[in-house]
Chains A and B, each alone.
Chain A
Amino acid sequence: MKPQSCVNINKEWDIVGARQLGRDIAKKIGFGTVDQARIATAISELARNIYLYADHGQICFEIIDNMEHKGICMVAIDVGPGIEDIGQVMEDGYSTSGGLGAGLPGVKRLMDEFDLQSEVEKGTRVKAIKWVR
């Protein structure tokens, strides 16, 4: 495991900053162009969720490099309103913000591993991993 780097999400431009950093890390690890785009897009969706629903939060990236696996792990954390019905937000097309409702189910499809934990009034934590093939 290598030390992680984090980006704070406080303003809209931080969405771009987060996905650029994630893309750079993905490139360094050896992901191809398509997976770089997948990872950057997933980061963009997670960062936008933080910005839209929680105002502030953080996305941290960690490089996983061991005998069996090489990959990128990202964790998006906020102390926002939380998600009441996780089943509902994982449905395609569900949105409370007038968006396309592609965000979280999209991130799940873009990445290899996906874990969503949320508590109402406390916040949300999304962890996603993509492995180098």
Chain B
Amino acid sequence: MRIPILKLHNYLLISIQTELDDQTAIQFQEDLLDKIHKSGSSGVVIDLTSVEIIDSFIAKVLGDVVTMSDLMGAKVVLTGIQPAVAMTLIDLGIHLKNVPTALDLEQGLIKLYQELGE
């Protein structure tokens, strides 16, 4: 299972619509970094509106991909985290403190636009 990564001008857009198993999550991490490298994108929005569960492993993969992209020079915003997912993450003790987030895809793009321009 591969998660599609769409290019829109200087940004990359991802909407995760499948149940995330570990392998898919790791593959996505690689695919995204590769796509950032090849496209020279400066901003990325990962929309999680359809994701019903984020456990500690998926949280680690998402947190890591934000840091890795940052190292490469691309800013990632996570959007659309569901209320139930936010509550569960805090119960798990996962705060994703240094991860930029926004309410939805639109707000995420606005956030990128404000910080990166273009």
Contacts and interface: CB of A to CB of B under 8 A. Distances in A.
Given A33-B84, A34-B84, A99-B60, A19 B53 contact: yes
A102 B88 contact: no
Which residue among B21, B91, B94 has the maximum number of chain A CB atoms within 10 Å of its CB? B91
A32 to B, nearest CB: 8
A63 interface: no
B31 interface: no
Contacts of B68: none
A34 B89 CA distance: 11
Q: Classify the secondary structure of B's interface with A.
A: helix
A109 B92 contact: yes
Contacts of B54: 41
- For chain A, the bracket of interface size reads 20 to 34
B52 interface: yes
Given A15-B22, A92-B93, A109-B92, A37 B57 contact: no
B114 interface: no
Interface residues of B, number: 22
Q: Classify the secondary structure of A's interface with B.
A: helix
A112 B101 CA distance: 30
Contact of B56 (A19, A33, A34, A103): A103
Given A37-B87, A37-B88, A16 B19 contact: yes
B23 interface: yes
Interface of B: 19, 21-23, 52-57, 59-60, 82-85, 87-88, 91-94
Given A40-B52, A102-B93, 19 more contacts: A20-B19, A37-B88, A38-B84, A41-B54, A41-B55, A41-B92, A44-B55, A45-B55, A45-B56, A48-B55, A92-B93, A100-B56, A100-B60, A102-B59, A102-B94, A106-B56, A109-B91, A110-B88, A110-B92
10 contacts: A13-B21, A23-B52, A23-B53, A34-B88, A40-B52, A40-B53, A44-B57, A45-B56, A48-B56, A105-B93
